[in-house]
Structure 1
């Protein structure tokens, strides 16, 4: 295996390392404070790997939510994945044996690193994308376990810790803004989101916003050139 591929994938994932370990620790601390030990925190991160949904899941677990409520909430929180993953179909089509894991591991942050389709010179493209996804996955699991262990021995106030996910999304947005010259998709997303927020309210705006963004970007396509 090309070690250059692994090395470049690691370099690419470093920004997510800084975010995932800290935010994963926040999730682990929440789990500990809710009465769930390290095995639970690790299992949720290994098998769900859903970031914001795991934060929401702590409340669902402690609140005794029904299966139906959990299913609907999960769909609403993660519905955005249905939209932005479509743009990765061509990028992932030749991934072969790596494809199942790469689909499972396509989080917001991994998407932000891979969505441009570019790979460094001298690397194996599919393995490069796989290892970027794999490293991010490991960072999240490590952060969750570390946070849960720390939560068992150190007192933490979890007030406002949920904002850490929002902070990471803002960081990913900022990085994409700085790296790309075409800001039409970003501005379209912001405007559609603000409009949906004003019309539907903060509890119900997510899915309408995603639908509106998809429609707007589809209409902005010109001569076969995608704005995404």
Structure 2
């Protein structure tokens, strides 16, 4: 019997850095395009609320988080105390701590590069790495995060300059923040397992409006976090169980019918 040639597992050569950067930009570009209209609305909102123009780029550098920046601008325009704004920012961005547990930060070497990646960790960057769990390298990750940040920064600046050229107030522009959170809520509540969270959010807001109408936002956020913590503990102990999805139409009757037939 003839001997088969012996196969040798050679290491896969690393791809060039330029290829990894281009690949990161290619993956990120369609998602980053969604930043443009929201960034324009953010810049316009800064001007429309009477805030100084430099606040838009300053916040994009100091507190890089789209939803949180819109929230800070709205609260600052209402002369909200600084302590309330700080706590609200902490609660809104607290989710990023859990994103970091599964983000491929281990692929990034170097203290400066790793610190930037931690700073530039946003929802869209986490979503891309979660959807594509393999193949992330340092150049690809940094290219993704730089493009996200640059797109948001430039869009905000263009919105500021565009807002300065508009002589009249745009009615309803301050609804951009509310519309953003409504969209995020509807996008996340697509199954029965997420409906309890939406119900708890509504309950938290109702309680806050009844208990502290003057500080309803911060009270609602704190109460909502407390409710989620209690729900998590009860779920871990097996006391609470929620179905994962809605049953199909007529599904229950079909199951009973098949059970009798068997």
In the superposition, the TM-score normalised over structure 2's length comes to 0.66
2:197 equivalent to 1:193: yes
After superposition, residues 64-213 of structure 1 pair within 5 angstroms as 64-88=79-103, 91-97=104-110, 98-116=113-131, 118-119=133-134, 125-154=137-166, 155=168, 156-157=170-171, 158-166=173-181, 169=184, 187=191, 190-201=194-205, 203-204=220-221, 206-208=224-226, 211=229
Aligned pair partner of 1:6 in 9, 21, 25? 21
Structure 2 unaligned segments of length 5 or more: list them: 1-15, 207-219, 239-262
C-alpha displacement of 1:206: 4.7
Greater RCO, CA 8 A, separation 6+: 1
C-alpha displacement of 1:161: 1.7
Change (3 A) 1:61 1:209: same
Rg larger in 1 or in 2? 2
2:53 equivalent to 1:38: yes
Q: How far does the alpha carbon of each residue in 1:129-157 deviate from its partner, in whole angstroms, 9 at most, with x for none?
A: 11111100011101110111111112433
Deviates more, 1:48-57 or 1:151-160: 151-160
Q: Does the 8 A contact of 2:47 with 2:164 survive in 1?
A: yes
Distance 2:201 2:80 in 1: 26
Q: Does the 8 A contact of 2:185 with 2:198 survive in 1?
A: no
CA RMSD in angstroms, aligned pairs only: 3.1
Deviates more, 1:126-135 or 1:198-207: 198-207
C-alpha displacement of 1:14: 1.9
Change (3 A) 1:201 1:150: same
C-alpha displacement of 1:191: 3.4
Q: Does the 8 A contact of 1:106 with 1:133 survive in 2?
A: yes
Deviates more, 1:201-210 or 1:20-29: 201-210
More helix by share: 1
Q: Does the 8 A contact of 1:60 with 1:70 survive in 2?
A: yes
Aligned pair partner of 1:58 in 42, 60, 73? 73
The alignment of Structure 1 onto Structure 2 pairs a total of residues equal to: 204
C-alpha displacement of 1:107: 0.8
Aligned equivalent of 1:224: none
Q: Does the 8 A contact of 1:79 with 1:207 survive in 2?
A: no
Change (3 A) 1:12 1:164: farther
